[in-house]
Structure 1
Amino acid sequence: MISKGRIGVRVRRLRAGYLSSVRARFHGRRDADGLQELLANAFAGSAPSDDNLPPYVLGLRAQVRHSTARLRSRTLKSHRALHVRIQSESVRVVTQYTERTEPTPAALARYGEWVGEWRSAASVCRAQAQQLADEANQLLACYWDAAWARARKGDQVGGQRPTGWLPGEITLDGTWARLDDGLLSDRWYGPQTPGRDADPSAVAQALHILDHQSARGRSGPARHGDASNGIRR
């Protein structure tokens, strides 16, 4: 059980610089006395559950969740027009390729350019989110190193902190691994459920067409209707 009498802490703005590392080590040394049982169990080879993490660690985790959610919100807001354009054009792509079965490579290429722009923005957003997680984990390492060193001086634990032992380690959830989930916003903010792809949205179908359409070149003049079909502008 963690003694929380001396562990109350207000986590500052997340920055894995020199001063933040110093503060993390300070909190680790200060909290060590209240973490005796947790550290002793770690020395025996066990890891604490999330419910038993100290407030400093929980604060960092909450801060990363808040910051990554803001990143997503800003990405959607700053690319709102692009998002709407892809949504509307997806219907035209699906209609052209599945209903009319009249492929229009030029229009699909234009659609692919918009999707590529979105994927680039989503990739930057993901990289920034990963940076936040990495910086927080660096501070966690400083915190636990200091707590372990203080406990070792008091003969509460022995040896070095176990390699890879980082209670509260922060990882991005699975939605960050799929760049196109931002175009299917419900997948960003809710877990996937079995069967949800049985009736995919127009966007999901259009993205599938874009990623799997064979590059079949056509020679000669364009077929009648290519210039005036519903997918071209």
Structure 2
Amino acid sequence: MTGPTSGLLWAMDCAVAALLVVWHARGLLPRQPEPDPASPGADSKPPYSKLATWPFTASCVLLAALCQLAGVVGVPAHRPLWISWGSAVLVLVAVDARTTWLPRRLTWWCLGQVGVAIGLAAWWARDPGALAGAALGGAATGALFWLVWRLGAGLGFGDVRLALGLGALSGAVSAEFWFASLLGASVVGALWGLIWTALRGRGAPFAYGPALWSGPWLAQLWTVFG
């Protein structure tokens, strides 16, 4: 794509992503049910309504704009994937980073949008195989993280749900992209876990959602520049 065309596409994707960020951060987030007070750590979690501020939203909008560069340098048909993962899911993992909680309703809502984005990407590319790849990738990743959760490795079940989205989105691209996304997310999660343990001590809860979210971006960087 030429420079002006790329700039226009990036601006269009940024506009859509910004609208989705504002909708999720200002419209949906304050309406999310709070965790059961009996749940460990729920008493110290800031209310979701207190997170839904304009500074929080603005920071997500800026990061979303940066994320949309992936659509400019990558396959055009994959632009819906980057818009959804870099807007709605971005807000979700930003909440996790601030609270170590992934709101259940918001998670399912975001995963639904990822599913729509996968369908649009498959239609755009005229590639029904992308739907099969998404189903296989989501099932495999969800099963893997469910097993890790059952073994008591410190993950919350919200991370298992988010892993479904990671696997589906990356599987829709290709098997190699799925593997790179999973590997990148695992490495980031392990490194961040070590740093967090060194800073806060063993057993301190930390947000794993941002690591899962980073996987497809790292895979995209590897695909474009590797």
Q: TM-score range by the shorter chain?
A: under 0.3
Structure showing greater radius of gyration is 1
Higher relative contact order (Cα pairs below 8 Å, separated by 6+ residues): 1
What TM-score comes out, normalization by structure 1 length?
Answer: 0.26
What TM-score comes out, normalization by structure 2 length?
Answer: 0.27
